[in-house]
Chain A
Amino acid sequence: MTVRIEFDSSWQEELLTRIENDGPWGNWELYKLAVAVETHTTIPDFEGLQAPKHLSGLTPLPHQLEVSKQVVESMNGKAILADEVGLGKTIEAGLILKEYMIRGLVKKVLILVPASLVTQWAIELNTKFFIPAVTQRKSYVWEQCDVVVSSIDTAKRNPHRDIIYKQDYDLIIIDEAHKLKNNKTKNYEFVQNLKKKFCLLLTATPIQNRISEIFNLVSLLKPGHLGNESAFYQKYNKDSRNLNDHEHLKELVNKVMIRNRRADTGIEWTKRKVETIPIEFNKEERDLYDAVSSLHREGDWLSSSQFSIMTLRREACSSREAVYFTLKNMLEKQEEPSKSFQDHIQALIAKVEAVQQNSKAEKALELIQQINDKVIIFTEYRATQMYLQWFLKQYGITSVPFRGGFKRGKKDWMRELFQKNAQVLIATEAGGEGINLQFCNHIINFDLPWNPMRLEQRIGRIHRLGQEKDVMIYNFATKDTVEEHILKLLYEKIHLFEKVIGDLDDILTKLDFGNVEDHLIDIFGKSASEGEMRIKMENLTAMIQFAEEIREGEKNAATGNS
């Protein structure tokens, strides 16, 4: 079959006009230079990567080059990049984008990322890849700039949505694409209706999803690749979680998805050193903790769920401010609080007021002074965050707060302040996602989240590619409290802290038993005795260890899991 040939006639018009007007004619030296440039920028082969030659100061890792090559040469520019966290998916996407731009196959690009990463993406593309990416701040940017980075939440809303649909994009990149797992959401619909000539979906956690989520993600990229909806669900159980059960399906998915594991890359990672720091309550703190703990044995004055009692106990391990805040809220929520309710709360508040010193904060101060370097403190509670900032200031230690709720600009600013001006960054849980802080290598877990994945994310902020030092993790655990139980009976038993990121994700998938946090609330809330609690914790631990063993077995049975 013959092929369509297009001949550009614009030059002809230029030449003929100049002949008619007897000039102006170009300069011979420049003319020769233009030809020299042309021969330098001509790419004679379909295969091979050009991008690395154009990137001074960036040395991509072998697996990153391999991914880029594979996407361009065997996946036709449509792929799910699903490397484990920290292997540099952004670099891979940047390499692919650069390659297409150099070859002139891509000009107009839309990059949709979480709001907190918008600036970072733009900076990386500009500084590492020399791609003039612009963050979307004004409506006209969509039309006037070729490479635009935006959050999906902005993009899907009008007037942006309509403008975006009118643009002729050559490449669309979506970071954190696992958020598009539900095909009934507005975000999904928005992306589905974008024209995707080339498309990269970036996600770190595709495998743990239900099969239906994988179907949705792949169908977004390449509709029909996994068949249509009804045929697919006839074949596979919607709620099935394990892709590995279906060899054929796995093979199909792997045609559009690349997943590198840390172990496959052969990269030397810096070590993680974990230290548990036991904290001894002072008398007043102990009183407060005990008072809160005994609530659920004290009859029905408190209609609140197990959940708020558990929250109070955990808060008592963090700071009196956190407890006070919750108590105040409990009181305010009641429209007409009974006398008994008010009395109880007041009694607890009195206990709060009796606490004059925070043992954990004292310990943190000591540690920070001793480390004498940048430190990130994670806490679950905003009240604790504010208290710590005040407390450290009393001792001349500069700190900046960080919260998930901060606007994009503020997050960037706080990160910058921390890097340049402050010794400590105090982050609440939501702040754990979407920011890279690898210039710091000390983390204090002031209190522990009950979801091990969140712990992973905390550590993942600093233990990633680019971290040059060993990472130090200090876990604060108050003796004889729920906190110590979680740490000693669960996290340490399953060697949570020594695990490399990504492993846990796989293990928890194997379990298929729901949310770890729910189990913990159940164990601590409903156990009648210390003994019962311990047994239940041991069961939970055993299950996780079991899943881990299965996984190890599978790994050995089928090497080269791809």
Chain B
Amino acid sequence: MQQQEIHNFLEKYFNANGCEIIQNGQGYLTVQLTIELDKELMNRPFYWHYLEKTGGVPNPMQLTLITNPQLASDQLKGETIHFGSPRLHQIFESTKNLAGSIRLYEKHNKPQGQQTPLRPWLGMNIRISYECDRKRDVFKSIGLQLINGQMVEGFHDKLLNLPLTPKIPDYSFTLSPLIMPKSGISRVENFLRYEIEQEDHSWADDARNRWQKDLKLLEHFYEEADEKDESYEIEKIALKEQYEPKVKISIVNGGLFYLTDQAV
């Protein structure tokens, strides 16, 4: 992420959370936090606890974030934000926490007076991590139509091209799903499992080979001991944790989307 991208990202984040941006200057941003965001970001539970007990007037903090120290004035007091900074990663985490589940409707411009049906979709943004002593990730966005079971990849990108709204638009009605969300999720899970199983897993075989090799060394090291002591068992567990290959599927976010027939 470039500094300007970070700046834009922060602007969007605070706007989306209803924070007033007091100053949006060259290379910096000063925002008035809402109570919710103060609790989310400022890590002062005792203050909020105290306030709730005493019924005082809440005073959420202002935050100045410097996204480009070269552009911002030297006198400006604030936190410098860059791609590796803990604050940015805290905000990253918070975007995921705050928008884990969603329900949206397509705001179509079908002629008025005519009722438009909207079909239910389950959308899931997914991270697949291939993990042993090393790790790599794949991002996938999957949509499942909950009536006919049609499944599409790259679902999120399709959504980005649609006008979406949290309230059902006028002259629209939603079709009831034939597939319940719970079994929809299972379908997606099974699809992913099947797909992953078909992949080339030489990385996992390599990891298992490394694991076996170190395990053999370990056995040899302790082979003369009559009673293998605690450190042997500890070491064995450590090797498992170090090398054992696994694929972890986690959901970044997702939800229900009611879309017109033409949308996907």
Contacts and interface: CB of A to CB of B under 8 A. Distances in A.
Given A53-B84, A77-B133, A105-B135, A228 B247 contact: no
Interface stretch (A15-23, A285-293, A373-381): A15-23
Contacts of B86: 130, 132
A6 B13 contact: no
Given A45-B136, A104-B135, A132-B86, A224 B185 contact: no
Interface string A409-453: 000000000000000000000000000000000000000000000
Contacts of A15: 101, 181, 185, 254-255
Nearest to B239: A197
A2 B208 CA distance: 11
Contacts, number: 218
A40 B185 CA distance: 25
A36 B9 CA distance: 9
Interface in B20-34: none
A25 B96 contact: no
Interface bin, chain A: 35 or more
Interface in A6-64: 6-8, 11-12, 14-16, 18-19, 23, 25-47, 53-56
A26 B247 contact: no
Nearest to A193: B231
Interface string B193-211: 1001100010111001010
B98 A30 contact: yes
A371 interface: no
B59 interface: no
B156 interface: yes
Interface string B226-242: 00001100110110011
Nearest to A19: B181
A26 B99 contact: yes
Contacts of B141: 35
Contact of A76 (B98, B160, B242): B242
Contacts of B230: 193
Contacts of B254: 11, 15
Contact of B137 (A30, A32, A42, A219): A42
Given A2-B201, A224-B219, A7 B249 contact: yes
Contacts of A23: 103
10 contacts: A5-B247, A18-B103, A25-B103, A28-B99, A36-B9, A46-B136, A53-B84, A193-B230, A196-B235, A222-B214
Interface of A: 1-8, 11-12, 14-16, 18-19, 23, 25-47, 53-56, 72-73, 76-78, 98, 103-105, 130, 132, 170, 192-198, 219, 222-225, 227-230
